[in-house]
Structure 1
Amino acid sequence: MERLRLELLLAGDEVSSAALAALHAGTSYVVWDGTTFAVSLARIYRCRLRRTLRRGIETSGLEGAGHRLGGYGQPV
């Protein structure tokens, strides 16, 4: 994915704004080839959320991202 396209996708909430600021600062990123079902990613995000909460680690936007992916219904 081209950096400009990624920047356009990162608009809106506080977490996306933080990711966009990191991208503008030159942070490296990776986008894998291919697609997967959004519901599969949502399941992974829910597991990550449970694990981080059990360990007392604060998350920013992980729960919301899982909900959005779960409701998307198309490959991402």
Structure 2
Amino acid sequence: MNHQVKRNNSRNGKSKRQKHMSATNKKRLRMMALHLAYVRLRRLLPPTIPPQKSMSEIEILQQTLRYIVFLNNMLLN
């Protein structure tokens, strides 16, 4: 069965290196999309003090949760 897998891989014309590069590019695109999502989420949050302070991804998520709780409390009161 291993021989059959090897033959199928050689038929589609992609070498191991090409597959690795393709996987690397897909990962890079996923990481760029994830980074863009964090940037967009960060823009929705109130400004930080100091305003120039960059936030890590975990800080963005924590601040987002706090902001959602704050907004929810505002609606309930």
TM-score, length-scaled by structure 1: 0.28
Which has more helix, going by share of residues? 2
Relative to the length of structure 2, the TM-score reads 0.28
**Greater relative contact order (Cα 8 A, min sep 6): structure 1 or 2?**
1
